[in-house]
Structure 1
Amino acid sequence: MSAPAGLAEARQALAQEAAGVDELLASLPEPADRSPEQRALAAEAKNRGRALRSRFMRTHGEAVYDELTQQRTVHLRLAELVEAAAAAFPGLVPTAGRMAAERTRPQAGKEGHEIDQGIFLSQVLGSPVSGPHLMDAMLRPTPRALGLLAEFERTGSVDLGSVLLERRDGAAHLTMCRDDCLNAEDNRQVEDMETAVDLALLDPAVRVALVRGGVMTHPRYRGRRVFSAGINLKSLHAGEISLVDFLLRRELGYIHKIIRGVLTDHDRSWQSRTIEKPWVAAVDGFAIGGGAQLLMVFDRVLAGADTYFSLPAAQEGIVPGAGNLRLGRLAGGRISRQVVLWGRLIRATEPDAGFLFDEVVEPQELDAAVEDALRRLDSPAVVTNRRMVNLAEEPPEAFRQYMAEFALQQSLRLYSEDVIGKVGRFTAASAARS
């Protein structure tokens, strides 16, 4: 198929402009060592290149995506898509080599090449043609999960590193076990969580699933379960939190799979394209940031009476995933603003906690509450009805449009001065408390 009119010329112009920006940046000191004048010069050049990339994608985005996916016959995941785009359209997104070099720098010392990925993926997701296709690609099981499926079906147990997955009486128990950092998420945990979610959904012997935090070895919580401390700020400060492999993959991958199921060929594909199952969360200790975001997609959320949740987006400076999409629906606009913009912490025993916690029990009663919830949700009728509830509450199109804007805005937030400064202070304060 011939390229659309103007694409070849636009591709060449983009490559030339990007080469000019690269030449200028290479002539300057490392980002952290630049003078105010040099920083201004670099920022102006980057802004010029990003404006061109945005115009290029607005005009040619669907044709670009069709070329990369062979007219939407190949399903490329996020990382595969940006790598293919870097090879086929020089200057559109950073190459794998450039991103590898960028990962060796702390967040404050990076050039911000992920913003170019954000521009690209925002336009892909924003298209009603390419966006749904990419979302479908992200709902497919990962190669790692497919490689482990036979073992899990046979043994009912697999240790993924940061997540332990066990099947007991038809229930998949996903235990987050980053005991050293209170289950603070990073690229590694997102990878392990998506693998575990895939396996739970693909295993025909699993009918219902549970996510819970494991027992910690962290000095302040030694011997106690903790659900999640949110994003790993130390990893963010060190430049190890990826836009593609963490912030976007997390939302479009395992969290979206909890809602929609895993997309795969199965014997009842004519009934539903995906395999879906009910999900329960049990909260011990606290659910902060990404932990609180995660609770918004479960069918039933249980909590100990001594727990709390918070979504400190304003303090951290980044966008709390799809929490802004879901929290207002669950809690109402006023509480959503109090939690997201004002940093309000809500304890499980407060009346307002009811919008996120279905059942609050004494800590010693949480195990029994978990077993009761798993038993009651173990029903084919629950599967069908949760599908209809999810369609009504969060139509796929609304999620796609949100994620299109999120891809760009989150990439910008990652490299904003306030975020870099706050992350550095939080990391130092955390180290002092440890």
Structure 2
Amino acid sequence: MNGAGGGPAVRGEPPGGRADPPTVLDQDLPLARKALAEAARRCDDALAALPGPGQRSPRQRAAADAAKDAARALRCRFMDAHADAVYDELTDGRTRHLRLVELAESAATAFPGLVPTADRLAAERVRPQAAKEGHEIDQGIFFSRVLRSPVSGPHLLDAMLRPTPRALRLLPEFVLTGEADLGSVTLQRTDGVARLTMCRDDCLNAEDDRQVDDMETAVDLALLDPAVRVGLLRGGVMTHPRHRGRRVFSAGINLKALHGGGISLVAFLLRRELGYIHKLLRGVVAPEGTRWHAPTTEKPWVAAVDGFAIGGGAQLLLVFDQVLAAADAYLSLPAADEGIVPGAANLRLTRRAGPRLSRQVILTGRRIRASEPDARLLVDETAEPEELDAAVERCLARLQSPAVVANRRMLTVAEETPEEFLRYMAEFSLQQALRLYSDDVISKAGRFHAKNKTVPGRRED
């Protein structure tokens, strides 16, 4: 049986080069499926005999960790041997294009013990992060192996570049009216420009599962509407006392939601990168009859930064064709502070800013002000706050040239291949899952929540 990478699976090989002896998990899929389910049941039984995660003694925590580690090692071994066979069964031989959540739910049903069921995740979701068992780590294992495969990975990537059902449902009305209010994002079409405005003034546009869904819908609508030639993303006017009456771009991940257990690995962290951010870069899958000349429908995008782009807000800027910022704005990626991996920024920032500045920003939390020289590596144009509107309109007009789309496509091909992105996302899936349930992230999220009750969901670093 070939491994997820297409060649012979390397199973538990130590530094000396000797592989672990074959087990039933490495054999035919039906036998491996049963063995995995039995191993998962043993782990569940061991955890059920202990108090909940928040009430365990150090010794009980060690016992729980040992049980989960053993089960996860077997899941890795199972997926290393059978990733493509599992994916083919779930997608009917890659004839169905399942999105991330659909794929995970199907895997939970078809392969008991491989990933958590929807009911188990729902029960976990109502708990604070510190009181969870960490079942999403099993999803991280699953997706790391699927994305790593040269067969299954591209198919899943293609599935995630397709328009969402919600967008297809709203498209006729948007084409007719040029307006859509999605909740946390509004969308207006004027003179060929799709203007996306993030309007979560309750949390300074800090992102959660809801906003990711709204953003992907808005991006789909802009890409699918033939009357749209260029897209603009900007933050709306805030009501918070410190920013009342002023626009703010984005405060990154919603730390209140993270502490409360409301940030999910699949529906937020993976969907965000494989969904709307990747669509901003590559577009949506094109209709069948037009794919001979372009596999996706893509358009140029402009971002206008007012106030600040923190964390996920700064990550977004790395896929835009033009970034404009008010002279008093700043950018930061406080990943070391938060303890999580800043999306695909580790992949993309180095290409734009170089390795030294990237390490300063990601590892030490350096803040880049739009007015300083280093900001030129990340921002195309700065303007005084009162002049930013006019600068944005000039930029939008420039990007409506007919040759822009073809050239941006070639720039993307040169800068980031799908294979590079898949390789990164395969590792990201597991590492981010582990970070979500690390002691330092849980502790930091709780402290941020306690310190920033007046700013729901986010501190300003």
Shift of 1:268: 2.6
Q: Which residue in 2 is equivalent to 1:359?
A: 381
CA contact 2:203–2:455 (8 Å) conserved in 1: no
SS of the residue 2:403 aligns to = helix
Deviation digits for residues 101-158 of structure 1 (CA, Å, limit 9, x no counterpart): 0101000000000000000000000000000000000000000000000000000000
Shift of 1:219: 1.7
> Does 2:10 align with 1:24?
no
1:4-403 to structure 2, matched below 5 A, reads 6-265=28-287, 267-403=289-425
SS of the residue 1:426 aligns to = helix
Q: Which residue in 1 is equivalent to 2:21?
A: none
Deviation digits for residues 330-350 of structure 1 (CA, Å, limit 9, x no counterpart): 000000000000110010010
SS of the residue 1:181 aligns to = coil
SS of the residue 2:388 aligns to = helix
Q: What are the ranges of 5 or more consecutive residues in structure 2 without an aligned counterpart?
A: 1-25, 457-461
CA contact 2:285–2:296 (8 Å) conserved in 1: yes
CA contact 1:213–1:283 (8 Å) conserved in 2: yes
Deviation digits for residues 330-385 of structure 1 (CA, Å, limit 9, x no counterpart): 00000000000011001001000011100000001111111111100002210000
CA contact 2:196–2:233 (8 Å) conserved in 1: yes
Taking structure 1 as reference, are residues 169 and 266 closer, same or farther at Cα in structure 2, changes over 3 Å only?
farther
Deviation digits for residues 226-272 of structure 1 (CA, Å, limit 9, x no counterpart): 00000000000000000000000000000000010001316532211
CA contact 1:229–1:290 (8 Å) conserved in 2: yes
SS of the residue 1:220 aligns to = coil
* Whole-angstrom CA distance in 1 between matches of 2:296 and 2:401: 17
Taking structure 1 as reference, are residues 172 and 432 closer, same or farther at Cα in structure 2, changes over 3 Å only?
closer
CA contact 1:235–1:241 (8 Å) conserved in 2: yes
Shift of 1:427: 1.3
CA contact 2:240–2:455 (8 Å) conserved in 1: no
Compute the RMSD of aligned alpha carbons: 1.0
Amino acid at match of 2:372: E
Deviation digits for residues 40-69 of structure 1 (CA, Å, limit 9, x no counterpart): 110000000000000000000110001000
* Whole-angstrom CA distance in 1 between matches of 2:368 and 2:452: 21
Q: What are the ranges of 5 or more consecutive residues in structure 1 without an aligned counterpart?
A: none
* Whole-angstrom CA distance in 2 between matches of 1:101 and 1:241: 14
* Whole-angstrom CA distance in 2 between matches of 1:338 and 1:284: 23
Aligned pairs, number? 431
CA contact 2:305–2:325 (8 Å) conserved in 1: yes
CA contact 1:172–1:210 (8 Å) conserved in 2: yes
Shift of 1:433: 6.6
Amino acid at match of 1:218: H
SS of the residue 1:11 aligns to = helix
SS of the residue 1:124 aligns to = helix
Q: After TM superposition, what 4+ stretches of structure 1 lie above 3 angstroms from structure 2?
A: none
Q: Which residue in 1 is equivalent to 2:11?
A: none
CA contact 1:141–1:264 (8 Å) conserved in 2: no
SS of the residue 2:227 aligns to = coil
CA contact 1:230–1:289 (8 Å) conserved in 2: yes
* Whole-angstrom CA distance in 1 between matches of 2:292 and 2:169: 25
Q: Percent identity?
A: 72
* Whole-angstrom CA distance in 2 between matches of 1:379 and 1:271: 19
* Whole-angstrom CA distance in 2 between matches of 1:53 and 1:5: 14
* Whole-angstrom CA distance in 2 between matches of 1:267 and 1:179: 42
